[in-house]
């Protein structure tokens, strides 16, 4: 039992599963390492989903005031005088904008304002300079407008190339409520802060960071919700605009209380709970570029706009002008103004249409890879072509469709790309190994059976190796043994020429083997001058008994042809030879067939009582003087297909149970002839009289049979004449059952 289990275990591993497990382990390590190619594959998959179903909503809760080419043409090159910007803010605030965010930094004083203008101007008289310096500061005017509006959020930027110590003055962060701990360890430190001039910053109700960090492939997908600069935390522009719009004094950052998904889980202001990744980044649900969101800045400044467009809206001020270089790439657009990225983020926040990649989702993805990998490794090596393709297609579809559904319907970002890649790679490798293993198996089967099976049967077995069950199975089969009569005396004549004896045996066995193979038989082995063959394994053969009998008749015909050829060759050489004669035993019954032997060497062979009986029947061909001896089960299976005559009721040596044995004297055509019918009737009458101890009747039937046989079965009828004579002299005991008990094998 343990040996069988060990063989099954070794067989399980020999199918390529070890390679599959090693590959799966490597894929899991690769997934955990998350190198750049894996990250890009994941991001591009999310991009594909968004391109197929971009975010769409008919409402316009966000508008963009665009410093476009048209506005630059009307009002001059950038930067514009601050009183232009102040008028823009005043007009938007009066129109009812809930928040106005600037996607830019006013980091320097207005060059057109008083003292700044005088510093840059030349050929001015001292009197004129003094008068100009007395003019009000446009920066102060702009700052006053910002204060009065109460809705302006100034933008700030970072420069990680500069050290934090270069910051000129203490920053002004927005108050933040930290839930479940300090979020700073999870935030990237951007180091240096690029700020607005003090006249503007101190009057603004909000200051936000407009950081648009592109991913590894220069595509903007995630925008930080909060940014760390040194020890300070700042909200990004969109979050700060949302805070100003809801008139909250602070925003909050929440960390996960669980170690398993440690990191930031959400940020928010009253009425808005915004999920983030553990680094506090927001995945933007992108839409196609929407030109209807844009209103030229010049139209606002020149009072050429509809105030209703901005009532109750959040307004972003930015630029689409190519010369100002604020252009970005998103998953759904190759080129889009950076200000629209903020606008689309704000829109998704206001409509609560978030994209979320939950903390710890990598573990779930890893488990999916592990489970699908195990399924493929376990099922592919022994599966049919249809089943493994169906399995692969089902797993692939399930992963991709589930990932697609979770994103489009619930906003959850679950990476199916690496799982699909892993599944595909495992499928290709395992199928390749399976193909190579089966090709090798077919070669082995062809090599193993090409000398024992007919070519067409070898092809069938090679195409479907499942027909060959390793280890052994029980089935009904027909067995044939053929042996040369008088081989010992023949071998003695070749005592001085062993090579000649080998050539003679090869001359005999070659045509006999060909007839067996031609009739769908399998050669089990050669034992000197003996051939052992069987039918109905490894290829199923419903007519195995018939085919064995046909092979026996063909073998006798081949032997006659061989003897004629040898006699002709001997006559030409002026010598004489003794014709070869064989005896054939055929029996049908159940046995065990399969690969048997030892771990070092085994053969495809058969074991069972029916096999032994077939061998014993062959040896009885000498006793009864016939060419073929057939067991009773075989005779029953082929009744009507051959000319069969009963020989005896015999208990072969080593067996107590008697069997009826028969001989074949012709094919179906002869069996249906009138001559055979008369012979068969007389023969059966002989056997019946013999077993009934009616010796006179038996002798009469015997004479009739000899006349009808026309010289055939002469030795058999002589044997019965001898038995009858002996029984006349010494009658069998009372209760004699007519069984002949053989004393020789």
Residue 321 lies in a domain: yes
CB 81 within 8 A of CB 360: no
Select the highest-mean-pLDDT range: 65-79, 165-179, 214-228, 424-438.
65-79
How far is Cα 729 from Cα 745, in angstroms, rounded to an integer? 27
How far is Cα 298 from Cα 302, in angstroms, rounded to an integer? 6
Question: What confidence tens digit (pLDDT) does each residue in 458-493 have?
Answer: 666 666 665 555 456 889 999 999 999 888 778 778
pLDDT higher for 3 or 304?
Answer: 304
DSSP string of 174-243, one letter each residue: PPEEEESS--GGGS-B---EE---HHHHTT-SEEEE------TTS---EEESEEEETTEEEEBHHHHHHH
Region 104-118 average pLDDT: 72
Nearest to 158 by CA among 187, 198, 182: 187
Same domain flag for 265 and 323: yes
Q: What percentage of the chain reaches a pLDDT higher than 70?
A: 87
- At 742, is the secondary structure helix, strand, or coil? coil
Same domain flag for 333 and 186: yes
The answer to which of 13-22, 337-346, 439-448 has the lowest mean pLDDT is 439-448
Residue 677 lies in a domain: yes
SS (H, E, C) 38-81: HHHHHHHHHHHHHHHCCCCCCCCCEEEEEECHHHHHHHCCCCCC
Checking if the pLDDT of 2 tops 50, the result is: no
* φ, ψ of residue 380 in degrees (nearest 5): -65, -45
Residue 272 lies in a domain: yes
Residue 460 lies in a domain: no
Same domain flag for 345 and 363: no
- Domain around 368: 2-51+359-444
How far is Cα 344 from Cα 356, in angstroms, rounded to an integer? 16
The answer to which of 71-80, 624-633, 640-649 has the lowest mean pLDDT is 71-80
The model's pTM:
0.62
Same domain flag for 62 and 46: no
Same domain flag for 317 and 224: yes
The answer to which of 394-398, 538-542, 599-603 has the lowest mean pLDDT is 599-603
Query: How confident is the model at residue 467, as a pLDDT?
Result: 53
Q: Is 465 exposed, middle or buried (0-12, 13-18, 19+ CB in 10 A)?
A: middle
Query: How confident is the model at residue 47, as a pLDDT?
Result: 83
Structure tokens at 127: 């009197």
Beta strand 294-296 with 232-235 is unpaired
Region 37-61 average pLDDT: 84
Question: What confidence tens digit (pLDDT) does each residue in 668-686 have?
Answer: 999 999 999 999 999 999 9
Same domain flag for 617 and 684: no
Region 46-53 average pLDDT: 85
350, 376, 393 - which closes a domain: 350
Q: Classify residue 114 as left (phi > 0), alpha (psi -120 to 50) or beta.
A: left
Residue 495 lies in a domain: yes
Query: How confident is the model at residue 95, as a pLDDT?
Result: 94
Residue 691 lies in a domain: yes
pLDDT higher for 145 or 378?
Answer: 145
CB 49 within 8 A of CB 275: no
Same domain flag for 179 and 70: yes
Beta strand 530-535 with 473-484 is antiparallel
What are 588's strand-pairing partners? 478
Same domain flag for 327 and 391: no
> CA–CA distance from 151 to each of 139, 313, 460, 523 (Å)?
18, 11, 84, 98
How far is Cα 210 from Cα 223, in angstroms, rounded to an integer? 9
Same domain flag for 530 and 622: yes
CATH code assigned at 569? 3.30.70.1230
- Residue 497 pLDDT level (bands cut at 50, 70, 90): confident
Residue 167 lies in a domain: yes
Q: Classify residue 528 as left (phi > 0), alpha (psi -120 to 50) or beta.
A: left
Residue 242 lies in a domain: yes
Query: How confident is the model at residue 261, as a pLDDT?
Result: 77
* φ, ψ of residue 221 in degrees (nearest 5): -125, -35
Same domain flag for 212 and 118: yes
What are 587's strand-pairing partners? 479
Question: What confidence tens digit (pLDDT) does each residue in 27-48 have?
Answer: 889 888 888 888 888 888 888 8
Q: In the chain, how many domains are there?
A: 4
Same domain flag for 491 and 619: yes
350, 374, 391 - which closes a domain: 350
350, 380, 398 - which closes a domain: 350
What's the length of the chain?
Answer: 745
Region 440-458 average pLDDT: 63
Question: What confidence tens digit (pLDDT) does each residue in 328-350 have?
Answer: 888 888 888 888 888 988 998 88
CA angle 14, 537, 456 (to 5 degrees): 90
Same domain flag for 222 and 184: yes
Average pLDDT, the chain: 85
């Amino acid at each position: 039992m343990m040996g069988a289990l060990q063989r099954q275990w070794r067989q399980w591993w020999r199918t390529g599963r070890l390679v599959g497990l090693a590959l799966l382990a490597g894929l899991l390590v690769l997934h955990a390492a998350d190198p750049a190619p894996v990250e890009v594959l994941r991001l591009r998959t999310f991009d594909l989903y968004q391109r197929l179903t971009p975010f769409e909503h008919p409402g316009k809760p966000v508008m963009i005031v665009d410093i476009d080419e048209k506005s630059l043409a009307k009002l001059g090159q950038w930067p514009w005088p601050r009183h232009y910007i102040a008028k823009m803010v005043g007009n938007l605030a009066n129109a009812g904008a809930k928040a106005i965010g600037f996607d830019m930094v006013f980091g320097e004083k207005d060059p057109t304002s008083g003292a700044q203008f005088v510093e840059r101007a030349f050929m001015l008289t001292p009197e004129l300079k003094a008068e100009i310096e007395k003019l009000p500061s446009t920066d102060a005017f702009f700052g006053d407008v910002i204060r009065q509006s109460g809705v302006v959020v100034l933008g700030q930027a970072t420069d990680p190339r500069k050290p934090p110590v270069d910051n000129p003055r203490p920053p002004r962060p927005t108050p933040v409520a930290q839930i479940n701990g300090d979020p700073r360890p999870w935030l990237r430190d951007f180091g240096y802060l690029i700020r607005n001039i003090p006249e503007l910053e101190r009057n603004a109700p909000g200051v936000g960071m407009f950081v648009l960090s592109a991913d590894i492939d220069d595509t903007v997908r995630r925008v930080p919700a909060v940014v760390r600069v040194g020890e300070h935390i700042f909200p990004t522009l969109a979050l700060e605009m949302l805070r100003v719009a809801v008139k909250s004094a602070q925003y909050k950052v929440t960390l996960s209380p669980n170690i398993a998904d440690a990191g930031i889980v959400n940020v928010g202001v009253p009425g808005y709970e915004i999920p983030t990744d553990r680094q506090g980044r927001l995945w933007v649900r992108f839409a196609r570029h929407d030109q209807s969101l844009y209103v030229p800045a010049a139209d606002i400044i020149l009072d050429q706009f509809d105030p209703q467009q901005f009532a109750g809206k959040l307004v972003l001020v930015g630029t689409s002008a190519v010369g100002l270089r604020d252009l970005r790439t998103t998953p759904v657009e190759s080129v889009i103004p950076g200000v629209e990225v903020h606008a689309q983020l704000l829109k998704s926040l206001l409509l609560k249409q978030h994209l979320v990649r939950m903390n710890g989702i990598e573990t779930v993805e890893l488990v999916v890879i592990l489970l699908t990998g195990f399924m493929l490794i376990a099922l592919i090596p022994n599966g049919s072509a249809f089943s493994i393709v169906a399995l692969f297609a089902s797993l692939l579809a399930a992963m991709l469709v589930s990932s697609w559904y979770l994103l489009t319907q619930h906003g959850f970002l679950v990476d199916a790309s690496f799982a699909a890649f892993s599944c595909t790679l495992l499928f290709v490798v395992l199928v390749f190994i399976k193909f190579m293993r089966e090709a090798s198996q077919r070669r082995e089967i062809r090599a193993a059976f090409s000398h024992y099976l007919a070519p067409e049967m070898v092809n069938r077995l090679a195409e479907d190796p499942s027909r060959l069950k390793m280890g052994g199975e029980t089935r009904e089969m027909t067995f044939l043994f053929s042996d040369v009569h008088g081989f010992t005396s023949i071998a003695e004549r070749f005592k001085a020429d062993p090579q000649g004896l080998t050539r003679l045996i090869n001359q005999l066995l070659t045509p006999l083997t060909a007839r067996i193979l031609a009739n769908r038989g399998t050669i089990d082995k050669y034992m000197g001058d003996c051939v052992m063959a069987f039918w109905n394994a490894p290829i199923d053969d419903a007519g195995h008994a018939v085919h064995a009998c046909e092979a026996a008749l063909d073998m006798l015909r081949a032997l006659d042809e061989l003897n004629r050829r040898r006699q002709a060759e001997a006559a030409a050489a002026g010598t004489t030879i003794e014709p070869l004669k064989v005896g054939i035993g055929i029996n049908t019954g159940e046995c065990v067939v399969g690969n048997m032997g030892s771990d070092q060497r085994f053969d495809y062979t058969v074991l069972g009582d029916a096999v032994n009986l077939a061998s014993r029947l062959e040896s009885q061909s000498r006793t009864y003087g016939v060419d073929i001896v057939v067991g009773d089960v075989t005779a029953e299976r082929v009744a009507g297909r051959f000319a069969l005559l009963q020989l005896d009721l015999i208990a072969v040596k080593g067996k107590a149970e008697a069997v009826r044995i028969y001989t074949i004297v012709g094919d179906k055509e002869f069996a249906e002839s009138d001559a055979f019918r008369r012979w068969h009737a007389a023969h059966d009458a002989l056997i019946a009289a013999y077993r009934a101890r009616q010796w006179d009747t038996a002798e009469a039937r015997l004479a009739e049979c000899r006349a009808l046989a026309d010289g055939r079965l002469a030795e058999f009828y002589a044997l019965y004449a001898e038995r009858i004579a002996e029984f006349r002299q010494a009658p069998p005991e009372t209760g004699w059952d007519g069984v002949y008990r053989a004393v020789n094998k």
